[in-house]
Amino acid sequence: MLELGVLTLDWLESMILPLTRLTAFFAAAPIFSQSVGTARIRLLYAASLCFLMAPIFPSSLSEPAQVFGKPDLLSLLGEALIGVSMGLALQFVVAAVVTAGEQISMTVGISFAQSFDPSVGSTPILSQFLNLLALLVFLTAGGHTIVISMLVESIRTLPPGQASLAD
């Protein structure tokens, strides 16, 4: 019975680095970083996605110990940096849509109609409309599946623990 506990503990230790990358992504991604998504929900998303992605990790149940090497603070920070940078890439797209809405409303002359958006601040109504429209187009076109495949490919091409901040 003790061997099963050690096997489970080794498996959970090997999941720390991918879970750090996914949690950092969900903390910085535009859909999940708003005040509607609590930290508990984002952590649940990251943990469930990490569990679903476990078969693509380079490990086996016969030898689960140190799949990605020993997790230390530097490798955890490196994984967090990779996850945040992927989330910030999506934030830049959302910021471009918000900026386009602000420019259009300023040009047309309806920039005085503003409301408060907790994620962006005080933005014109047209900007919020374009933001929601872009989000609907993103979800309708299957962008959420592309984001999940992007996360899977990031784990496959750059395995956790391989990138170091010292490089």
Tens of pLDDT, residue by residue over 22-61, are 999 988 887 765 656 677 888 888 888 888 887 777 654 4
**In the predicted model, is pLDDT for residue 135 greater than 70?**
yes
Q: pTM to 2 decimals?
A: 0.75
Closest CA to 150 of 83, 97, 96: 83
Q: Which two tokens stand for residue 103?
A: 């420019």
Stronger pLDDT, 17 or 62, i.e. the higher one = 17
Stronger pLDDT, 140 or 37, i.e. the higher one = 140
**In the predicted model, is pLDDT for residue 103 greater than 70?**
yes
pLDDT at 167: 58
pLDDT at 2: 60
pLDDT at 61: 41
